[in-house]
Structure 1
């Protein structure tokens, strides 16, 4: 695994051992950052179910001002911490270790310009996470949220008050959903 773009391009990343995490492919990360390239510079990035941190680290490499990572699995969190240290990214980063749904509540009052959600497939966490992000109003105005899901299990969007699906893309065997914050009606 390596960083695919920005100032740290081609630097290797440590991936956690075991089968509890599923690294986001280079191809998907490249597609993601091609889509949001005009939003990354100076952005506050939230990487949920972060694993090795590849997506958030890629955002920092491409000019994000900060990245907050949430990861529950100890081996993945340890790999993420080592990646941040090895790349001298500890300063613009916050690593929260624990359950995403619990820790998101502690972020209430903060907003992020870009949010990446990559929960384990087939666990029902996609809908719960989107509802909580929506309820806590964590996406900044004009911000983008991306959710990764298996192409074999298309997402069933829950009713959301401020987020709306903008686009759905197939990248390899993965679906990438792009949501935006709805305009507030007067």
Structure 2
């Protein structure tokens, strides 16, 4: 039987072709193969313990501190809206939910439920959007406002926004800079 690779250095290629059928773990090498690099290891027990404590502390901080900050923002905006809308006839419920994600502005979802729709729902919708835009603890914010009564529902799309969620640059074009940060520009 003739050798398929009679050239010098072919032994290396034979091993590669043969090992393609076998998958070795990342940190394991064929027996007899020279190790070209050493895997990094952490062998100091104090360092391992310190990293473990830091990981547990960071996990606890993310888990417990972020929801508290979000609930404080929700409560602050809810109190503001309830104070501003207390004279609206037929007001049944006001709800506020904030959602924060990395690299994006704070999203404030507001829902106002009425027993009967007022004469001008678009005016009320615009006032609610303006109150949240100006009263948000962090600016800029993106808004989603929903006004509902039995059988009817109004969103920011009814105020000629392109979507149900108004982005900060769209709100800036309509209302100007927020009261919480008058120097902000998109």
Identify which of structures 1 and 2 has the higher relative contact order when contacts are C-alpha pairs closer than 8 Å and 6+ apart: 1
Which structure has greater strand proportion? 1
Which structure has greater helix proportion? 2
TM-score (norm 1): 0.29
